[in-house]
């Protein structure tokens, strides 16, 4: 099957003991796949006894290694995995061997990427402009979702708007929202066949927002609404809660997204989420999410010693690893925030 991946995907190497924010202490229990569970059931010696002593069933009845004090019970003081040291990386649960890599299948297409919640992945994601590679690999050839081709073209156009020459970052973000809104109108009117000509038009004409900025909702109020929405989601780490509260205190002088890092963060969000639209016909949400995620990251960056990249990492950790949070933010982007709200904060 055809497979897409950002060029940096192949460069990823886990930082292991040198990782400043190890995923083994991110607050997630460790799901154990059935092959690993079977191996652990027959594992001899002390390690076998230890693994079996920790192994539990999660509420869905799937085996998992619950955390001790928010940390995987097999993480040692040097930040290394005891199972990995004793038996090799191939004997760790599947999730430990694959994280932070993600892969999504859309019929005959597979898309791979790295989760921004991992500090090394975040460094690669923000370290250069995203370039996609295409290859062929084995995999199930399922029916292609009808919207795939047009939404792929639309995503290419959307990513192109984010890197349009001789434009500012606010202009690019606003153009992205205007384009996504037009794609959404066509999807809602069941006119997906009109998306490719629309893409062609947008490739030739960069859409500058013609509205008077004063006619948009006040930026400070929209930012406050965004932070309140994020505060209302399930929060994984106390630090994120503190950051959101601190962000509310600096709404008078919000820090705009830095050029370069801002485009790359938004491109990551678009690449990862835009094609969800092939399943539910919603793409405007994911353009708005890209803008919201980048603007909120920039707003909170001065509160964090390690700045934009660390807040980006925390945003990804808190949102993208919880499907409940992703559903809640999708609902909020439909019901609580409006397109003018997003255009307002995009113009920072």
Site of interaction with ligand SF4 (CB under 6 A)? 14-15, 19, 21-23, 99-100, 118-120
CA 346 to chain centre: 19
State how far the Cα of 64 lies from the Cα of 53, in Å rounded to an integer. 11
Minimum CB separation from ligand SF4 for residue 11, in Å?
13
Beta-carbon count within 10 A of 189 CB = 9
Rounded (5°) CA angle 219-154-327: 55
Minimum CB separation from ligand SF4 for residue 70, in Å?
14
Provide the H-helix boundaries in 163-255.
169-188, 195-204, 219-231, 238-248
Contact yes or no for 231/241 (Cβ under 8 A): yes
CA 125 to chain centre: 11
Q: Contacts by 180-183 with C-beta closer than 8 Å and gap 24+?
A: 180/283, 180/284, 180/286, 180/287, 180/288, 181/284, 181/339, 183/151, 183/154, 183/283, 183/284
Minimum CB separation from ligand SF4 for residue 88, in Å?
16
State how far the Cα of 321 lies from the Cα of 331, in Å rounded to an integer. 17
Minimum CB separation from ligand SF4 for residue 102, in Å?
12
Nearer to ligand SF4, 118 or 319 (CB): 118
Nearer to ligand SF4, 60 or 78 (CB): 78
Minimum CB separation from ligand SF4 for residue 19, in Å?
3
Nearer to ligand SF4, 285 or 314 (CB): 314
Nearer to ligand SF4, 120 or 288 (CB): 120
Q: Under DSSP, is residue 95 helix (H, G, I), strand (E, B) or coil?
A: helix
Nearer to ligand SF4, 22 or 330 (CB): 22
Nearer to ligand SF4, 21 or 264 (CB): 21
Nearer to ligand SF4, 240 or 274 (CB): 240
State how far the Cα of 56 lies from the Cα of 64, in Å rounded to an integer. 5
Minimum CB separation from ligand SF4 for residue 317, in Å?
9
Minimum CB separation from ligand SF4 for residue 163, in Å?
27
* Cβ contacts of 220 within 8 Å, gap of 6 or more: 251, 252, 254
């Amino acid at each position: 099957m055809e497979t897409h991946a950002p060029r940096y995907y192949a460069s990823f190497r886990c930082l292991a003991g040198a990782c400043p924010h190890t995923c083994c202490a991110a607050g997630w229990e460790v799901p154990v796949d059935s092959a690993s569970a079977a191996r652990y059931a027959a594992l001899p010696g002390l390690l076998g006894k230890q693994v079996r002593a920790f192994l539990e069933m999660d509420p869905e009845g799937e085996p998992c290694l619950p955390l001790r004090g928010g940390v995987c019970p097999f993480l040692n003081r040097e930040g290394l995995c005891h199972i990995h040291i004793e038996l090799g990386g191939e004997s760790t649960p599947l999730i430990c061997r694959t994280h932070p890599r993600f892969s999504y299948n859309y019929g005959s297409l597979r898309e791979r990427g790295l989760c921004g919640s991992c500090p090394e992945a975040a460094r690669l994601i923000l370290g250069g402009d995203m370039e996609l590679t295409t290859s062929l690999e084995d995999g199930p050839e399922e029916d292609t979702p009808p919207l795939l081709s047009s939404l792929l073209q639309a995503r290419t156009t959307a990513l192109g708007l984010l890197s349009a020459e001789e434009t500012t970052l606010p202009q690019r973000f606003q153009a992205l929202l205007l384009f996504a809104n037009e794609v959404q109108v066509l999807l809602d009117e069941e006119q997906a066949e009109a998306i490719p000509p629309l893409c062609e038009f947008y490739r030739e004409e960069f859409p500058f927002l013609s509205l008077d900025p004063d006619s948009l909702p006040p930026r400070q109020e929209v930012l406050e609404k965004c932070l309140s929405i994020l505060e209302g989601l399930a929060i994984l780490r106390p630090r994120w809660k503190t950051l959101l509260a601190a962000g509310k205190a600096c709404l008078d002088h919000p820090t705009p997204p830095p050029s370069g890092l801002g485009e790359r963060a938004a491109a990551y969000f678009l690449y990862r989420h835009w094609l969800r639209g092939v399943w539910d016909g919603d793409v405007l949400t994911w353009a708005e999410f890209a803008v919201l995620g980048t603007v909120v990251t920039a707003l909170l960056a001065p509160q964090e010693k390690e700045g934009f990249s660390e807040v980006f990492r925390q945003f990804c950790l808190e949102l993208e690893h919880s499907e409940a949070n992703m559903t809640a933010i999708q609902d909020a982007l439909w019901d609580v925030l409006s397109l003018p709200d997003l255009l307002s904060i995009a113009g920072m």
